[in-house]
Amino acid sequence: MAETFQQPRFGAPREPAEAKNPGQVLVRLLDFVAAGRIRPIVFLVICGALFILPGFFNIPPIDRDEARFAQATKQMVESGDPVDIRFQDEVRYKKPVGIYWLQAAAVETASKLGVPRAQLRIWLYRVPSLIGAIGAVLLTYWTALGFVSRRGAVIAGLVMCSSILLGVEGRLAKTDAMLLLTTTAVMGAMARVYLSWQRGDVSPRPSWALAAIFWTALAGGILLKGPLILMFVALTVVALAILDRSVEWLWRLRPVWGVLWTLVLVLPWFVAIFLKSGESFFANSLGGDMLSKLTSPQESHGAPPGTYFVLFWLTFWPGAAMAGMAAPAIWRAKREPGAQFLLAWLVPSWIVFEIVITKLPHYVLPLYPAIAILIVGALERKVLSRSPWIVRGAAWWFAVPAILSVGVIVGAISLLLQPEFIAWPFAAGAMIFGLFAWWLYDDEHAERSLLNGIAASFCLSVCIYGVVLPSLAPLFPSVQIARALRSVECVGPLAAAAGYHEPSLVFMAGTSTLLTNGSGAADFLQKGSCRFALVEWREEKAFAQRAETIGLRYSLTTRVEGFNFSRGRSVSVAVFTSEGTK
């Protein structure tokens, strides 16, 4: 175990796999990729695209967070104000401006290139997340090179690339994939400086490049999600300081110049938003959003300690199955420099997240690269657990694709009342690769099983994101309502929504969409032509009573039936238009 997390000699001989199986082809492909310096980068970029792109362009806006981010960016583009952040007339001061700038840049670039109706194409707002996800995979590879061989670093990148949680966040127009990129860059630079100090490297001194990466990425993380990235850094430094009784290595990051550079990057916008909003931004983002999560569950997202540990086995699949087998070896190696740094990155922040009352699965995503590298460290040295009760966890490689594939296909049939035949081959492929991962597992050829699990994850992503989700029109009533509004003959239709107030409707139907009740929708309809009332069935009685009172004549244009998964209930929205007054 003394060398478990030391960087092994690249090109050391490995025992060939003995049996022919799907994983054998993947092993040979991995050998080819790891034999060069550029090949791993190209390979991981291609893999990142293959894992994230299914469904990327044709999954409609997802309520609520993605639609809120996209709508706020759309208003930033419409208003030309790069400082203020708003959702309709309401200020949105929960997060800094970083992700909105990135999304706005993607939308405006597409508009200049001639993409029609670019501001309504949700996939453009997801481009920063796609870049963040693929960039995080590459940075996981770069970080892992300090701990394991080039071949192992490629596997670590693949483990991140195939994880279910990154697959979700890479397809959503939110902050978390880009935060993962900046966090991995920060921790990767810090890891290289720390390991250099542990080895006693004195000359040459660490280059300015690592310090530049560290402080620039830190500034990017602050502009994306405020001080959260500082927590990862601070807890890691404190943990290492306690274990080593020294923080001498921090001077290699040139903190004086680094802090000044970080302030140069982040202060202009913070000063601008303070001048525009006064103290309200800091009160909303720090007090109203971040600090309140520590003491109370926000938006019904409270959960007890241990929730992230339970979710980990699904959100980090297929790597999660190997994590259980690697855990005993990782614990035994906890005082080796490499393992010590990775555990300092992982454990303190994980404990904090478990203690915090508000819990969402993506909060722990910036800690996953550390787990991927820890797994590969144990995998390369063949020190995985042989305990029968732990080895039985290999069945998880098959259980997840079997449960999810059957679940989404049955769910699609129940919603659409017709089978999605095109999804079945990919579901079958996921289960077959998962079965091989389980069936062929042994501690001598564990890598083969892990690669089969990664192949199963790819098939699963195509099945769920590429085929099933885009076909579930009832889950996206906002798209159907917006399509009904665009089909009318008048120019620039205006709408008022009563009862159904999801952010995706504002994004799809227009920033001017009025969110009101049944009575307000009737008053809105009376004020002019080319207006439409979008009345959810629970508000239809109030709408009809108010229309009778004010003498409004109206007709039903269409009715949209669907399911609001944000609230967990069915919806029926009537689209009314005015016929004048009595």
> Is 253 inside a domain boundary?
yes
**Residue 291 confidence class, pLDDT cut points 50, 70, 90:** low
Neighbour tally for 24: CB within 10 Å: 18
**Residue 131 confidence class, pLDDT cut points 50, 70, 90:** very high
Number of domains in the chain: 3
- pLDDT for 293 equals 59
> Is 314 inside a domain boundary?
no
Sheet strands side by side (includes 514-516): 514-516, 494-498, 531-536, 569-581, 552-564
- pLDDT for 283 equals 75
Which of 446, 471, 496 represents a domain boundary (last residue)? 471
Say whether both 258 and 400 belong to one domain. no
Say whether both 171 and 71 belong to one domain. yes
Long-range contacts of 487-493 (CB under 8 A, 24+ apart): 488/530, 488/532, 488/557, 488/577, 490/529, 490/530, 491/530, 492/530, 493/530, 493/531, 493/532
Say whether both 447 and 488 belong to one domain. no
Q: What does the DSSP assignment read for 453-488?
A: HHHHHHHHHIIIIIIIHHH-GGG-HHHHHHHHHHTS
- pLDDT for 300 equals 56
Say whether both 40 and 98 belong to one domain. yes
Q: Is 571 helix (H, G, I), strand (E, B) or coil?
A: strand
Say whether both 149 and 220 belong to one domain. yes
> Is 302 inside a domain boundary?
no
Burial profile 267-302: b = 16 or more Cβ within 10 angstroms, e = fewer: eebbeebeeebeeebbebbeeebbeebeeeeeeeee
Say whether both 121 and 242 belong to one domain. yes
Neighbour tally for 411: CB within 10 Å: 13
> Is 224 inside a domain boundary?
yes
Which of 422, 443, 471 represents a domain boundary (last residue)? 471
**Residue 206 confidence class, pLDDT cut points 50, 70, 90:** low
Say whether both 175 and 265 belong to one domain. yes
Q: HSE (CB half, 13 Å, CA atoms) of 343? A: 17
Say whether both 536 and 431 belong to one domain. no
> Is 336 inside a domain boundary?
no
pLDDT in tens, 79-116: 999 999 999 999 988 889 999 999 999 999 999 999 99
Contacts of 206 (CB under 8 A, 6+ apart): 192, 193, 196, 252, 253
pLDDT of residue 184 exceeding 50, the answer is yes
Query: Please, where are the H alpha helices in 487-564?
Result: 503-509, 518-526, 540-550
Please tell me which residue, 91 or 221, carries the higher pLDDT value. 221
Residue span of the structural domain in which 151 resides: 22-277
Which of 225, 250, 277 represents a domain boundary (last residue)? 277
> Is 404 inside a domain boundary?
yes
> ω before 204 within 30° of 0 (cis)?
yes
Q: What does the DSSP assignment read for 86-112?
A: EETTEE--SS-SHHHHHHHHHHHHHHH
Say whether both 457 and 481 belong to one domain. no
Burial profile 29-44: b = 16 or more Cβ within 10 angstroms, e = fewer: ebeebbeeeeebbebb
Say whether both 139 and 237 belong to one domain. yes
Say whether both 482 and 518 belong to one domain. yes
Radius of gyration of the CA atoms of the chain, in A: 26
pLDDT of residue 11 exceeding 60, the answer is no
> Is 544 inside a domain boundary?
yes
> Is 488 inside a domain boundary?
yes
pTM exceeds 0.85: yes
pLDDT of residue 202 exceeding 90, the answer is no
Mean of pLDDT values over 335-353: 97
Contacts of 223 (CB under 8 A, 6+ apart): 96, 97, 98, 101, 265, 266, 269
- Going by the DSSP 8-state scheme, the letter that residue 1 receives in this structure is -
Say whether both 146 and 236 belong to one domain. yes
Contact 269, 381 (CB under 8 A): no
